[in-house]
């Protein structure tokens, strides 16, 4: 299956005829804002952005609307800080009330967050077509809450926008196929390209942190499987401390709270610890890192766009396409530092190999395809 053809037929006439705020774009976290920014911009006045507040820290969510050139959400709830079930229930309740007042023509959700599944459930309850961006992701690891969110959302959705052929195959294995499954690519490609600052700006970010290009490792850590257990968190931080190059660690609020609660602050002394970064600064750091060590799924994708090698500190990953050429999967333990230092010993060769590889997530036109496919079906 190849990428769906680009078509302008749906772009002008159908967008012009789209009623104002008639497409509900439900999101709640920083990655959703980043990946749906292109879709929201293309929809223009037709978009109604419903923010659940799953990421309620301004550093993790609020700042990204401005950085992505987006207006403030049309409506915002505050579901953050609750349990998973509490977040889904509160988001669903808020979305339900909003849809009663402003019944949309379609609902767009992205990925696998609690906000994603709440948006899909609400759309389904109202009999409104649900569009799932990034459909078909599977880790085949039911210990991950996100895996359940993905499966439920895919089976509720009316238009499934898959990023890769592998995602399409995952859906087919579950009996989801036909012309409502479309291979679009992933909006992460155009999002990264659009937000990557010019070289001079990127170098100024490095200079402010007293870093040199390819002279540091960028690490991120936030998943509950790595932060909730004090022994696991201590192991990962200890392993990061053994890496040969300086480690830059933008500290996620959840990780900061876990470090404090578990009495592990002393393990941060070897790192360059930063506050959560905006998109521009973070991409500057990412694009010049010798190596990335992360438990983020989205960051695995961004590494392929910027051709940076990564180590995923996880039990499993739903981004299978990124593993192999660009990265490797390593569960928490001594292999983290051993793998990192082995790669760093030949990092110039690694960078040279990656420099000629395209991202497996498409050609940078995913947002256009998603909007066109949706409008053609609505039209």
Instruction: Give the 3-state secondary structure of the chain.
Output: CCCCCCCCCCCCHHHHHCCCCCEEEEECCHHHHHHHHHHHHHHHHHEEEEECCCCCCCCCCHHHHHHCCCCCCCEECCCCCCCHHHHHHHHHHHHHHHHHHCCCCEEEEECCCHHHHHHHHHHHHCCCCEEEEEECCCCCCCCCHHHHHHHHHHHHCCEEEECCHHHHHHHHHCCCCCCCEEECCCCHHHHHHHHCCCHHHHHHHHHHCCCCCCCCEEEECCCHHHHCCHHHHHHHHHHHCCCCCCEEEECCHHHHHHHHHCCCHHHHCCCEEECCCCHHHHHHHHHCCCEEEECCHHHHHHHHHHCCCEEECCCCCCCHHHECCCEEECCCCCHHHHHHHHHHHCHHHHHHHHCCCCCCCCCCCHHHHHHHHHHHHHC
| More confident position, 137 or 62 | 137
pLDDT confidence band for 102 (50 / 70 / 90): very high
Distance of alpha carbon 196 from alpha carbon 354, whole angstroms: 18
Summarised one tens digit per residue, pLDDT across range 288-309 is 999 999 999 999 999 999 999 9
Above 90 in pLDDT, residue 311? yes
Mean pLDDT of the residues in the chain = 93
pLDDT confidence band for 78 (50 / 70 / 90): confident
Contact partners, residue 288, CB within 8 Å, separation at least 6: 202, 203, 206, 211, 213, 214
Above 60 in pLDDT, residue 263? yes
- What pTM does this model have? 0.93
Which of 131, 8, 92 has the alpha carbon at shortest distance from 378? Answer: 131
> Please, what are the domains in the chain?
13-187+364-378 (3.40.50.2000), 197-354 (3.40.50.2000)
pLDDT confidence band for 58 (50 / 70 / 90): low
Which of 135, 88, 85, 125 has the alpha carbon at shortest distance from 104? Answer: 125
pLDDT confidence band for 9 (50 / 70 / 90): low
pLDDT confidence band for 5 (50 / 70 / 90): confident
Above 70 in pLDDT, residue 8? no
Summarised one tens digit per residue, pLDDT across range 177-186 is 999 999 999 9
Residue with tokens 């609750």: 82
**Active site residues per annotation:** 222
CA-based max dimension of the chain: 60
Q: Residues of the chain with pLDDT > 90: what percent? A: 85
Return contacts of 125-128, CB within 8 angstroms, 24+ apart: 125/96, 126/99, 128/24, 128/99, 128/103, 128/104
pLDDT confidence band for 59 (50 / 70 / 90): low
Distance of alpha carbon 285 from alpha carbon 141, whole angstroms: 31
């Amino acid at each position: 299956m190849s990428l769906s053809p680009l078509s302008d037929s749906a772009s002008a006439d159908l967008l012009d005829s789209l009623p104002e705020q008639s497409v509900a774009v439900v999101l709640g976290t920083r990655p959703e804002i980043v990946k749906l920014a292109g879709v929201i911009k293309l929809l223009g006045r037709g978009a109604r952005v419903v923010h659940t507040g799953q990421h309620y820290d301004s550093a993790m969510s609020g700042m990204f609307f401005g950085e992505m050139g987006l207006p403030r959400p049309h409506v915002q709830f505050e579901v953050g800080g609750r349990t998973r079930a509490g977040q889904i229930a509160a988001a669903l309740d808020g979305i339900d009330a909003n849809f009663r007042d402003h019944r949309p023509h379609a609902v767009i959700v992205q990925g696998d967050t609690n906000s994603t599944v709440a948006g899909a459930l609400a759309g389904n309850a109202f009999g409104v077509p649900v569009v799932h961006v990034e459909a078909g992701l599977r880790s085949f690891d039911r210990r991950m809450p996100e895996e359940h969110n993905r499966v439920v959302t895919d089976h509720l959705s009316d238009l499934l926008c898959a990023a890769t052929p592998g995602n399409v195959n995952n859906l087919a294995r579950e009996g989801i196929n036909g012309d409502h499954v479309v291979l679009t690519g992933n909006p992460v490609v155009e999002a990264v390209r659009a937000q990557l600052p010019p070289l001079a700006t990127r170098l100024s970010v490095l200079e402010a942190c007293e870093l040199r290009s390819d002279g540091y490792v960028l690490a991120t850590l936030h998943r509950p499987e790595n932060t909730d257990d004090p022994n696991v968190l201590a192991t990962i931080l200890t392993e990061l401390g053994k890496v040969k190059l300086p480690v830059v660690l933008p500290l996620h609020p959840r990780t900061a709270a876990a470090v404090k609660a578990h009495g592990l602050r002393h393990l941060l002394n070897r790192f360059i610890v930063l506050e959560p970064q905006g998109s521009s600064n973070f991409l500057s750091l990412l694009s010049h890192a010798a190596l990335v060590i992360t438990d983020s799924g989205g960051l695995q994708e961004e590494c392929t766009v910027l051709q940076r090698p990564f180590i995923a500190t996880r039990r499993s990953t739903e981004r299978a396409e990124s593993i192999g050429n660009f990265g490797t999967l390593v569960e928490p333990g001594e292999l983290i530092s051993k793998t990192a230092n082995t790669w760093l010993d030949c990092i110039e060769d690694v960078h040279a190999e990656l420099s000629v590889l395209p991202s497996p997530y498409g050609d940078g036109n995913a947002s256009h395809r998603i909007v066109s496919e949706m409008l053609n079906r609505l039209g």
